[in-house]
Amino acid sequence: MAKGAFRLCDVVLDDTIGRSTPDVEHERAVAIFDLVEENSFEPAGHAGGPYKLFLSLVDAKLVLAIRSEDGADIATHILSLTPFRRIIKDYFMICESYYEAIRSSTPRQIEAIDMGRRGIHNEGSQTLMDRLQGKVKIDFDTARRLFTLICVLYWRG
């Protein structure tokens, strides 16, 4: 199967995710666009896609329903969000610091905060890869984009 077959062609947010402010909805759309635009996504034991990913929240857990491009069910994985809570909280705090720093800090201070922000983002991405291990094989860049989307699902504007 061609390498391009192991990819997401669409990401759909279920109604359980809820809607938010126009700014947040825009950020969600951008995160989905970035993820679909470039990704590597290989469900364990499946011959190839492309795939559609349906995300929902059930009992504070993230449900990843994977379907083929024509809508056939492939797999559903439920991830506890508990391992991500601290990381997401820290990520939002450092993002706030970053946006404040842009207005009043030196380039060196901004760069230091941005390095910390990227480090926390990388930690969340690695945690996501670890949690999906044996279920869905994704590369680090895809994990980063998917972690961004998970963060945006929690952002309230």
pLDDT of residue 156: 53
Distance CA 141, CA 144 (A): 5
Mean pLDDT by 10 residues, the chain (157 residues): 75 84 83 93 92 91 94 94 91 87 91 92 96 96 93 70
pLDDT of residue 2: 42
Domain spans of the chain? 3-154
pLDDT of residue 63: 94
pTM of the model: 0.87
Residue 117 in tokens:
């922000």
pLDDT of residue 9: 95
Question: Nearest CA to 91 among 114, 58, 108?
Answer: 114
Which run of H or of E encompasses 98? helix 82-104
